[in-house]
Amino acid sequence: MALPLGSIVAALGGELHGDATLEIRGLAPLEAAEPDQLSFLSNPKYRQQLDSSRAACVIVGPASKDQALARGACIVADDPYLYFARLTQLWKREHSRPAGPAIHPSAVVDPEAEIAAGVRIGPHCVVERGARIGRDTVLKARVVVSEDCVIGDRCVLHPGVVIGADGFGFAPHAGAWEKIEQLGAVRIGNDVDIGANTCIDRGALADTVIEDGVKLDNLIQVGHNCRIGRHTAIAGCVGIAGSANIGAHCTIGGAAMILGHLTLADRVNVSAGSFVARSILKPGLYTGIFPIDDNAAWEKNAATLKQLHGLRERLKALEKKQ
């Protein structure tokens, strides 16, 4: 598996300085690259690694061109990280093995499901009645798309994803719980990626909605009737309770938890591990994490935290005495 530098630049653009016939046999980070591999520098923080890298060629931005030339071949691109992303796509296309059947024979696809052209459905998938899968979408192994749910074009659903399980809805009655049947579905836009074992529940009455370009990592829970706005990216282990309304272009860090029935404006960034218990109406970065410490120090501080309000009162009293 090899690609000459010239054919990379022919496909992806950029300004090549070096031998176009040089064969590239892999992609690697600067510090790990072998002499037949291509690497990239996107973060100026790692500039020092450039000089010592053994890479055959390095993708750099215009500002690093001189430094890169001093060490050998390079491709100059406006956005080296984006160039690298597209290079991984090219690499995968060039080296992919012949694909299996469009719908794996072990998949259970209801005859009343609508499957568009170019769709691939992997082993042990289940696509139920009335579901619709858009053009060129890929369902990897063991994906479930339940009744009447709609997936857009060019989506990728990783193994174990469950789209359209019942939302968690029960009315209390005489000490027990009466099921609220979930009569809505899930509607997913185009170019959405959904990570392994992530679950998106169907709506109670209206639909749960995931807009175009949303990226969801693994083991995420999206409750019924949530809406996640365009191009929002959500890292692994996040939980989003029912009817949360999350804006476009947000980022939610891993294991963050978002309560239900609240709103996040567009371009809100939530730090990993934070618990969002109220609406956030202004773009910006929001955080709520207990800082980790050695256990002995934590124990003291955590114990004091339980008296914090009292401490404030004592401080106030002292201030008054002054």
Instruction: Give, as ranges, the residues between 251 and 280 that touch a second copy (CB under 8 A).
Output: 254-255, 257, 259, 270-278, 280
Distance CA 182, CA 296 (A): 48
Distance CA 42, CA 188 (A): 32
Site for a second copy in 39-78 (CB under 8 A): none
Nearest residue (CB) to a second copy, 117 versus 291: 291
The question of whether 224 is a catalytic residue gets the answer yes
Q: Which two tokens stand for residue 242?
A: 């029912």
Residue 312 binding a second copy, by CB under 8 A: yes
CB of 252 to a second copy, least distance (A): 12
Q: Which two tokens stand for residue 154?
A: 């060019």
Nearest residue (CB) to a second copy, 21 versus 291: 291
Helix (H/G/I), strand (E/B), else coil: 275: strand
The contact pattern for a second copy, residues 125-164, with x = CB under 8 A and - = no contact, is: -x-xx----------xxx-x-x---------x-xxx-x--
Residue 178 binding a second copy, by CB under 8 A: yes
Nearest residue (CB) to a second copy, 52 versus 322: 322
Residue 6 binding a second copy, by CB under 8 A: no
Sheet containing 215-216, strands listed edge to edge, beginning at the edge strand earlier in sequence:
120-121, 138-139, 156-157, 193-194, 215-216, 233-234, 251-252, 268-270
305's CB contacts (< 8 A; 6+ apart) are: none
Nearest residue (CB) to a second copy, 21 versus 319: 319
Give the closest residue to 145 by CA, choosing from 191, 101, 103, 109. Answer: 109
Give the closest residue to 75 by CA, choosing from 3, 2, 4, 5. Answer: 5
CB-CB contact of 31 with 12 (8 Å): no
Task: Spot the catalytic one: 95, 224, 231, 249.
Answer: 224
Residue 13 binding a second copy, by CB under 8 A: no
Q: Which two tokens stand for residue 121?
A: 């459905």
CB of 156 to a second copy, least distance (A): 8
Site for a second copy in 210-249 (CB under 8 A): 213, 215, 217-219, 221, 223, 231, 233, 235-237, 239, 241, 249
Question: How many binding residues for a second copy (CB under 8 A)?
Answer: 124
CA distances (Å), origin 232, targets 37, 136, 229 = 33, 21, 6
Nearest residue (CB) to a second copy, 21 versus 98: 98
The contact pattern for a second copy, residues 287-306, with x = CB under 8 A and - = no contact, is: xxxxxxxxx-xxxxxxxxxx
Q: Which residues are catalytic?
A: 224
